[in-house]
Structure 1
């Protein structure tokens, strides 16, 4: 049996999802502009990590 989230928890979850979404987009933009291959790779990995966390957080909404 799945517990219901409180309104405060739901709002916090939405804010976290939004923050990770924005972070992933910014990191990917920075990666696209990077000229150093190591920096580009690090930024892409960080963007992917933020995206993965966003997806994991979204699973709590189901």
Structure 2
């Protein structure tokens, strides 16, 4: 694990949580969307947010 101070750890946890929330919201919007192109774009963005969350979580190991 990288040596993180308390502030960095707190910010990292905040970012990880935010990316998870964003992914869930984008999934919900994609399900409600009538336009298939926009729905696909939202799903892609949700997956990107999940990937970013996973990358950020590597700093906790």
Whether TM exceeds 0.5 here: the answer is yes
Q: Does 1:24 align with 2:30?
A: no
Q: Name the residue aligned to 2:5.
A: 6
Where structure 2 has 5 or more consecutive residues not aligned to the other structure, the ranges are none
Q: CA RMSD in A?
A: 0.9
Match in the other structure for 1:57: 56
Q: Unaligned 5+ residue runs, structure 1? A: none
Which TM-score applies when normalising by structure 1? 0.93
Report how many aligned residue pairs link the two structures: 61
- Within 1, Cα distance between the matches of 2:20 and 2:4? 21
TM-score normalised by length of structure 2: 0.95
Moved over 6 A (4+): none
| Structure 1 pair 3–61 and aligned structure 2 pair: CA distance change class (3 A) | closer
